Structure 1
């Protein structure tokens, strides 16, 4: 078998296609969660913490700031060493929300699977010939006693 044929079999397998679809949907889902954090949750947190709070602009200057620059963009352009913890907080909140949503989805899927497995299975009705043979057996047992 040639390497091209092996690759073709590998690439066309259903598992490979499923994985590709999962990655694409996961990327789109990540964008949705990022928008949820940035556009909905962070503004609510800003209002709760007193308004006007934008975590992406939170930073600590670690080096010398000879020009006394105040904005993050200006500090980064000037090459000043800056610890941008606000961006980390935003990404961390994004991760926690994404992990929570995935947890809830997996929990729901597991619940649905369990409900399918726990569904009572009715025993199949006994065929007539087997029932008749059992009656004959029981009658013979009673006759010999």
Structure 2
């Protein structure tokens, strides 16, 4: 049973599934905007053209208010989804370990520019001594 729950958790929290869920919820909320646009703007304009009846200022304000309300509802829904996904991503990264930076295994000889072991004090190619000061100069030139 533990394996089944772990598999379900891995499936449900995978990026594709979360993206699809957000898309469905945002699509549902956006359909309210489209419905409000057609009911409160397009349909009254069509009715006005067909019946040649002009709407009063109060009716137009009512239509605009209803459309504005649906836009605000959409924005609230989108903001809540954003906060939920942000919290879920934060929870998923709590147990994850950060990768440790790689320690280079080789360095470059400042005299012959060949790769040598990081622990070498003498270059096997040109047999020159590698001192700590030269390594610092080499590190500074590598950064630039």
Smaller-chain TM-score bracket: 0.3 to 0.5
**What TM-score do you get using the length of structure 2 for normalisation?**
0.33
Task: Give the alignment's TM-score, normalised by structure 1.
Answer: 0.33
RCO greater where, 1 or 2, for CA within 8 Å and sep 6 or more? 1
